[in-house]
A and B are shown apart, each in its own frame.
Chain A
Amino acid sequence: DAGVTQSPTHLIKTRGQQVTLRCSPKSGHDTVSWYQQALGQGPQFIFQYYEEEERQRGNFPDRFSGHQFPNYSSELNVNALLLGDSALYLCASSLLGSNEQFFGPGTRLTVL
């Protein structure tokens, strides 16, 4: 049983560019959450998707957007990249109503 997978593992972009990160949830999971983790900090909640809709959102600007597909996989899009967007982006999946989230290995984004 494959766990949560994310692609790509690493990404380098320049300021002003746009990026798309991808996540496939653990088999059987229907809910996907995205987090941003800066070095030495805890994960910061970006948003959560269920039934292809954004259900909850953290304190992130509209430059951060997402999508969930019918197969429950998800994308995170970030527009107009800033240097401060450099971080590890984590995807976590769960079953709706479960308190346990399963995290993917993350995508390391570097903005130059």
Chain B
Amino acid sequence: GQSLEQPSEVTAVEGAIVQMNCTYQTSGFYGLSWYQQHDGGAPTFLSYNALDGLEETGRFSSFLSRSDSYGYLLLQELQMKDSASYFCAGNGPGYSSASKIIFGSGTRLSIRP
């Protein structure tokens, strides 16, 4: 089967750094994506790792290790607006690399002053 596991909740302090982990049990995934979803909002794309290693986009970085079936999202210089749910998602095989995306259950990030 295909599944992605994430811790359900993480709390961090404004201005600090937080790492949210994702482990997966699957085969045939092309890569790992990360999405942010604020309460009542739609998921928004943050990053995609096709290869092992670190991808950096501003305050957000994402890491993938295929050999360990593991990835993480790193947020730096945390701001109150970063309080949201963060989902890792495996991009499955199919007609295109984005054909079948399996989402984890998400990590709810709470930022405190």
21 contacts between A and B (CB under 8 A): A31-B98, A41-B106, A42-B87, A42-B106, A43-B87, A44-B103, A45-B101, A45-B103, A50-B95, A55-B95, A56-B94, A56-B95, A56-B99, A58-B100, A90-B43, A96-B98, A98-B96, A99-B50, A100-B33, A103-B43, A104-B42
**How far apart are A2's CB and chain B's nearest CB, in angstroms?**
14
Contacts of B41 in A (CB 8 A): 105
A contact residues, range:
20 to 34
B98 touches A97 (CB 8 A): yes
Decide if A101 is an interface residue (CB 8 Å cutoff).
Answer: yes
**Does B103 lie within 8 Å of A42, measured CB to CB?**
yes
A56 to B28 alpha-carbon distance, docked (Å): 14
Majority SS of interface residues in chain B? loop
Residues of A within 8 A of B (CB): 4, 31, 33, 35, 40-45, 48, 50, 55-56, 58, 90, 92, 94, 96-106
Chain A residues lying within 8 Å of B33, measured Cβ to Cβ, are 99-100
Query: Counting CB contacts under 8 A, is B45 at the interface?
Result: yes
B positions within 8 Å CB-CB of A: 30-31, 33, 41-45, 48, 50, 87, 89, 91-92, 94-106
| A96 contacts B44, C-beta separation under 8 Å | no
**A residues less than 8 Å from B103 (CB atoms):** 35, 42-45
Q: How far is the CB of B3 from chain A (nearest CB, A)?
A: 11
Query: Smallest Cβ distance from A33 to chain B, in angstroms?
Result: 7
User: Which residue of A is nearest B97, CB measured?
Assistant: A99
With both chains docked as a complex, state the minimum distance between the C-beta of A28 and any C-beta of chain B, in angstroms: 15
